[in-house]
Structure 1
Amino acid sequence: MTKRLWWIAGAMLSVLALALGVWWFWGRPQGPLKVKAGVVAPVSMQEDVYATGSVVPVSRQEVRVLTPGQVAKVEVKVGDTVKVGQALVSLDTTLVDAQVAQARVSVEAAQAAVNTAQANLDELKKAQSAANLSGLGAESGAVSASSLLPDFLSDGKNLLQENPISPAVINQAEGALAQSKAALKQAQEMLKVAQVQQGQLIHKAGIAGTVLEVNAQEGSLASAQLPLVVVADLTQMNVEAQLNEVDAGKVRVGGKAIISSKMLGETTVQGTIVEISPTAVAKPSVQGNASPTVGVKIRLDKAPLELKPGFTVTIEIVIATKEGIIAVPQEALFQEGNKNYVYRIQAGRLEKTEVTLGIGNDTHQEITSGLKAGDQVVLNPSTDFSEGMLVAPEVGSGGS
């Protein structure tokens, strides 16, 4: 009986303690929830896209061969400065030199045949003219051609009168001349081909610049896999980078970029976007296909000597710059579905407000509609917040 009384007394004490706790929590006055807040004010903002890229020469020449050949002479070494047309490397030209010489002989023989055919045609035409002149004089009663010509020409005239030259003979001579001219042209073309083949074995600089690589060795076979010599113009440089889909959609040809590098220290280099790839590429990796990226090429306004081909640099592309715009800290924003919101503090209570975004950077986001200067917004809103909740900014909460 005594144990039962003690048990009942303990239960009553527990209920009383619980009631006191509920009264303490709900019965005492509840103050507003303290929140961090910022005041919306006009600011100046610049939106940027950041990436890394590689330095590459604007102009670059790689000397390659389609078929292996023996290297006869290497004219340059790494670091040499070369001019346009300067010899870089020569392959063995023994066979092609013989072909050029043979082609020249063929041209000379064809030219001699043309000269002979032309002379023969000229003689036949002169003889025909003389015969026609003699016949015309006899018919008109004029002085005979034999009375005006020396005896040996007069004898020739008499011979032509007995054996006149027919048009068929002239046509045949003209055909022989045309045929010999065609043979000459063919021989000349063969000479050009041989000379081109000869020239292809002597590789020359197509651009003025600096020799970056020399892979050819005298007496060795030229490899078709490696360039024999690489030349680049180091006075003009590009930076090539890959941008993700979102950033690629923001940049435009002609946009400005700022290039920085550890090699440059505090100095930066200005550049201009000159090319944006028309397609996105997803390169395969060990984990699978990566997200698609778009290639961008930036022309440096002035390439410093410290930037060597192949160096990695940091790129800051300026997307937009605006003055006096309404903006909020990035931590004030939250999303529901495809819409963006902030919690605005109105008369000490939360008001869920939809906003439209403009440009942004790492710290702030432009608001094009939904807020005005002087509005107070909550920073780092919690998922426990709700419309109409009573709040009060913490001491020290300031503007955006």
Structure 2
Amino acid sequence: MANSGQTRSTTILLWIGGLVGAILIIFGIRALTREKIPVRVTTASLQPLISTVPTTGKVEPIHEYQAHAPGPGVIQKIYVEVNQHIKAGTLLMRMNDADAIARLASAQSTLSGAQLNQQVIGSGGTLEERTHFNQDIAAAQTEQRNAQNDLATEQKLQQQGAASAGEVLRAQQRLQTANTALANAQSHTASRFDSGDQRGAAARLNDAKNNLTAAQAGVAAVDIRSPIDGTVYSIPFSAYDFVPSGADDLLDVADLTKLQVRAYFDEPVIGQLAQGQPVKIVWDARPNVAWHGHILRAPTTVSSYGTRSVGEAIITVDDAKGDLLPNVNVTVTVTVSELPDALSIPREALHTEGANNYVYRIVNGHLTQTPVKVGAVNLTRVQITSGLDKNETVVLGPVMSSQELVDGLQVIQVK
């Protein structure tokens, strides 16, 4: 009986062992035959890493002269052509001077009248008036002398008893009347113009002088000359065109070897910009030519530009030779960092969750999530500052885009 029970126990153990073995064999076979996910791989390598920030901008001349019309009028003649190099003082354009000459004649006439008016006031009147006044004074003086002589005679006769007191009184009254008449004539001459008249005449004379100066400048301004050396790059008007007073841009002159670009950068990249950073400049009209410059003034404030929040930067063009025109739109690309020998990987190999960055390495045929720290970034590559070594293999992604990478996934490399 004991042997029979022992036999049954042994049989059960054998069945259990066989079942476990079969399960292990099945799982082993499945593990050995499980499909491995094909993935594309690359290696971390040392190579130059250049980070750039592109945007658009507008070319501006640093030294420019814009001709303005001195007054409303007609362009009489244009002496230069577009793209012509000129020296300071070159005659550019002449306006019709008929109106300017008429204004000058009027100003000269007004000045002459103001000068004459001040002279009259300072002299006490015109020559005719002064002659008349002097004649009145002379007559009054003669009457005064006659009255004085008559009074003396009457007084002498009264002492001799030959004249009455009434006759002496009438002689005194005559003298008094003559003195009053002389005083009035002299006072009228001296007080005809007061200090207010003199100040008014001086003010009118000063205004007339200023108007004459302006009219003379207007005549001189009909000949429009360039105050700078440069190139004529725009003439929007033609001879015999009428232009209003102060019309802008009759003609534009600039030194085309000294240009700058006013560019606007989106707010997120402003912090990467700094004075002196190199810039590449491209103009669509000449796609095979590139100009170079540097940031003269980095953005200091943020403002609205259409629907964008931007910062304004001024970029100096270092190699302008007259082949880049003012007021054209260009594409500028700023190099914000340049590392000659940076350990980097393609950007598609980098994964980010929140503030954490990681890559997938392949260890014993399985994906291993590996944290890394990053540095400079450009459009295609990212610098790895820690977490990877040179030539270490990392996964770019699955061959089939529908498949997802997860830690521990069994994979096979496909280059």
Structures share fold, TM-score greater than 0.5: yes
Residue 264 of structure 1 contacts residue 306 of structure 1 at CA under 8 Å; is this kept in 2? Answer: no
Q: 1:238 aligns with which of 255, 260, 278?
A: 260
Matches within 5 A, 1:74-93: 74-93=78-97
In structure 2, C-alpha distance between the alignment counterparts of 1:106 and 1:337, rounded to whole Å: 82
Could you report, residue by residue, the CA deviation over 1:315-334 in whole angstroms, capped at 9, with x for unpaired residues? 43210123555433212112
Matches within 5 A, 1:344-359: 344-345=361-362, 349-359=366-376
**Residue 199 (structure 1) shift:** 5.2
1:85–1:340: structure 2 CA closer, same or farther, 3 Å change rule?
same
**1:367 matched to 2:388:** no
Residue 369 of structure 2 contacts residue 407 of structure 2 at CA under 8 Å; is this kept in 1? Answer: yes
Matches within 5 A, 1:224-373: 227-241=249-263, 243-259=265-281, 269-275=291-297, 278-279=301-302, 296-309=313-326, 315-322=332-339, 325-337=342-354, 339-345=356-362, 349-368=366-385, 371-373=387-389
Could you report, residue by residue, the CA deviation over 1:269-306 in whole angstroms, capped at 9, with x for unpaired residues? 431123566556655xxxxx7x6666544211131344
Residue 60 of structure 2 contacts residue 260 of structure 2 at CA under 8 Å; is this kept in 1? Answer: yes
1:184 maps to a residue whose letter is L
Q: How many residues align?
A: 327
Q: 1:381 aligns with which of 385, 397, 401?
A: 397
Could you report, residue by residue, the CA deviation over 1:223-279 in whole angstroms, capped at 9, with x for unpaired residues? 7998432323222233455545544553234322134679696x8643112356655
SS in 2 for 1:379: strand
In structure 1, C-alpha distance between the alignment counterparts of 2:77 and 2:390, rounded to whole Å: 78
1:357–1:50: structure 2 CA closer, same or farther, 3 Å change rule?
same
Is the radius of gyration larger for structure 1 or structure 2?
2
Could you report, residue by residue, the CA deviation over 1:22-53 in whole angstroms, capped at 9, with x for unpaired residues? 88971645597664444445554321224566
**1:98 matched to 2:102:** yes
In structure 2, C-alpha distance between the alignment counterparts of 1:68 and 1:185, rounded to whole Å: 26
When the two structures are superposed, what TM-score results if normalisation uses the length of structure 2?
A: 0.61
**Unaligned stretches of 5+ residues in structure 1:** 1-21, 121-158, 284-288
- How many percent of aligned residue pairs carry the same amino acid? 24
1:111–1:312: structure 2 CA closer, same or farther, 3 Å change rule?
closer
1:328 maps to a residue whose letter is I
In structure 2, C-alpha distance between the alignment counterparts of 1:45 and 1:99, rounded to whole Å: 69
When the two structures are superposed, what TM-score results if normalisation uses the length of structure 1?
A: 0.62
2:77 aligns with 73
Residue 40 of structure 1 contacts residue 373 of structure 1 at CA under 8 Å; is this kept in 2? Answer: yes
SS in 2 for 1:70: strand
**Unaligned stretches of 5+ residues in structure 2:** 1-25, 125-178
In structure 1, C-alpha distance between the alignment counterparts of 2:236 and 2:46, rounded to whole Å: 61
Range with bigger deviation, 51-60 or 202-211: 51-60
Matches within 5 A, 1:11-30: 26=30, 28=32, 30=34
Residue 80 of structure 1 contacts residue 211 of structure 1 at CA under 8 Å; is this kept in 2? Answer: yes
1:217 maps to a residue whose letter is S
**1:48 matched to 2:65:** no
2:77 maps to a residue whose letter is K
Q: 2:228 aligns with which of 201, 207, 219?
A: 207
RMSD: 4.6
Matches within 5 A, 1:167-186: 175-186=196-207
In structure 1, C-alpha distance between the alignment counterparts of 2:43 and 2:84, rounded to whole Å: 63
In structure 2, C-alpha distance between the alignment counterparts of 1:345 and 1:252, rounded to whole Å: 40
